[in-house]
Chain A
Amino acid sequence: MMKNLLKILSGREAGIFVMIILFCAAVGLYKPHFLSLNSLRIILLLVPLIMIGAMAQMLVLVARHVDLSMGSMLGFSAMVAGLMYRDMPDIWWPIGFIVAIGVGTLLGLFNGLLVTIFNLPSIIVTLGTLNLYRGLTFIISDARQINRANIPSELKAMSQTSPVFGIPWIILMSFAIAILTFYIVRYTQLGRQIFALGSNPNAAPLRGINVTKVTLIVFCISGALSGLAGIMYASRWGFVNPSNTGMGFEFQVIAAVVIGGVSINGGVGTVLGTFLGVILLGCVAAALPLLGIPGTTQSAIYGSVILIALLIDRSVRQRTTARSTRSWRKK
């Protein structure tokens, strides 16, 4: 049973990996400089924000919740940091990270509290906070954007390079978060508890899991990573705008996570799958302008990719159940 399970799981990730290779090869045949280092750089630069968002959303989905407010949390945290930079120009710039992550965590905590104290479905709560936080972002910024001149250049430089082979810091950070998530999932009790909670929420308290605590932690992580994504937004694009920053982020993240094989019903998902899902989305996003595909068709393509991923997902699961039932019956 375990062996079969492992086989299927690695099958899923291998599947995505193959899709990535095939896709890049196909695009590379048509436009050879897609396979260049420069191209890799472009892909990887598209990816950091979605990567850390996807790691957070993965944990949330595994716990059988969903967080639709990530984009607004991103925007609000980025705006708070941006306002700080604008009104206190001499402040030591790394404090922006602490501020953004801290603010994000508080926002996530609020989500978590609403879900746990009032026992509300997270999809509705985060739908509400999506609007609430976005509105607050407008209010604190007086509907004005934070201009490029106000963002410290050291922060912007983090998206350009670093001492490590010249790979921009934000890419390194996103990889670090992925590795950290992997560690949490595989080697910590918290990780196991999140999975247990998601696969069987009713049995969880019987197994000694403090449901409230784990749920709150998961939402706080979502908030914290959204905050981190917020400051990375400021780094990558150089400005913060109350209407654009983070808009639509949650849908991109969910798309990546679904492609990566995380189940909406909780309890199932891997960091590797999520990671590859993000990379695949990044490759597609980078390839489309190169191929000259008009912006108007891009949405149709993203939508189809999600649907195809779901269908593949389902057929894999069918084979899993069939195989495991067969082997079980044989005993």
Chain B
Amino acid sequence: MLKKTILSAIAALTMSSGVAMSDGHSIDIVFVGKNTGNPYFDSLTQGFVEACEVIACDFEFVAPATAEATSQIPFIEAQIQRGVDVIAISPNSPDALNQVFDSARDKGIIVLTVNGDITGNEDRRDATILPTDFTKVGADQVEMVGSLIGYEGEIAILSATTEAPDQNFWIEGMNETLANDPKYSKMKLVATVYGDDQPEKSTTEMEALLANFPNLKGVIAPTTVGIAAAAQVVQSRMIADKVKVTGLGLPSEMRDFIKDGTVEGFQLWSPYNEGWLAAHFSVGLKNGSMENKVGGTFEVPNLGTITINPGNSINTQAALTTFNAANIDDFNF
């Protein structure tokens, strides 16, 4: 099945209207992660790696040691120097990279932001590949926590950093859903706290939540670091029946908590698919078989038809995937 799809995809690519193939060398793609040692990006990278084994690209992964705003700049400069074809990047900052993206595109390098966008500076990149439709995340997460607490009671949000644009976007969505949908009228959001994507801080914030709100019934942590920390607190205090933790988490980190019942369900998307898609899109753009046009579509093996949304934004999957005891073992990331 996979082979057939690939063969037909290749056929479709080669039959595309008369844009010349590049001079025969395979496309050089570099993915610049936020930082090393981050398990989320291991999975994303794997998608790239396996895609490039199948289609004609050479792939390398680089990342700085720390996730500060400016730490990726030397790496991008280096890739420009190396003359790569495509720079895919998970940006640490919405605007610190403007200058260096400009110089990359001046040299004809395609710049794709993956997994997150450079809000306010979208014109500096060619396209963005997002994991899913971000506008639905807030509502889906509220529904998730609601289903666990019987749609009634106090809930809190444990977020990452105060300025992370994707976090704030989702939290806004959550607030809107809570305010406007009568299904959740008996649920009350009592606090939004920030764990800065650090396990220690996330843990102390969670403990503070439990201390400040003794009637807390549910916690939404839309960050992989936050949900793992919150689950750890609940597990060590053995209050899983009183406080329900959910959010966006990595199956590999949450598996233990699902198995012993601390967490009943959580959601995410597939970082692997993002990498897979990004690689195909890059190669397609470079050899002319795909066009970066709003409203256009293209085919990616295993993922089907992908639409390019306004702002050159691409969603890898339509909605969040829910993980629970039934399917937790099916995933290896």
Contact = CB atoms under 8 A, between A and B. Distances in A.
In the complex they form, do A and B come into direct contact, defined as C-beta atoms under 8 angstroms apart? Answer: yes
A304 interface: no
Interface in A234-250: 237-239, 241-244
Given A160-B236, A237-B203, A295-B201, A290 B211 contact: yes
Given A239-B199, A294-B162, A148 B204 contact: no
B215 interface: no
A148 B262 CA distance: 14
B133 interface: no
B212 A33 contact: yes
B240 to A, nearest CB: 14
What is the interface residue range for chain B against chain A?
A: 20 to 34
A147 interface: yes
A286 B211 CA distance: 11
B42 A289 contact: no
Contact of B208 (A138, A143, A148, A290): A290
Given A46-B204, A237-B232, A148 B37 contact: no
A286 B204 contact: yes
A38 interface: yes
Name B's interface SS.
helix
Interface in B235-292: 236, 252-253, 255-257
A36 B198 contact: no
A295 B37 CA distance: 24
B65 interface: yes
A141 B38 CA distance: 12
B196 to A, nearest CB: 5
Contact of B36 (A147, A242, A295): A242
Contact of B162 (A31, A149, A160, A295): A295
Given A149-B252, A244-B199, A285 B204 contact: yes
Interface string B201-232: 10111011001100000000000000011001
A255 B229 CA distance: 26
Interface string B137-162: 00000000000000000000000011
B211 A241 contact: no
A26 to B, nearest CB: 17
B211 A243 contact: no
Contact of B205 (A38, A244, A289): A289
Interface string B10-47: 00000000000000000000000001111100100000
B297 to A, nearest CB: 36
Contacts of B39: 144-145, 147
B65 A243 contact: yes
A38 B211 contact: yes
B200 interface: yes
B37 A33 contact: no
Interface of B: 35-39, 42, 65-66, 161-162, 193-194, 196, 198-201, 203-205, 207-208, 211-212, 228-229, 232, 236, 252-253, 255-257
Q: Which 7 A-B pairs have the closest CB atoms?
A: A243-B37, A242-B37, A289-B208, A160-B236, A143-B36, A290-B208, A143-B37
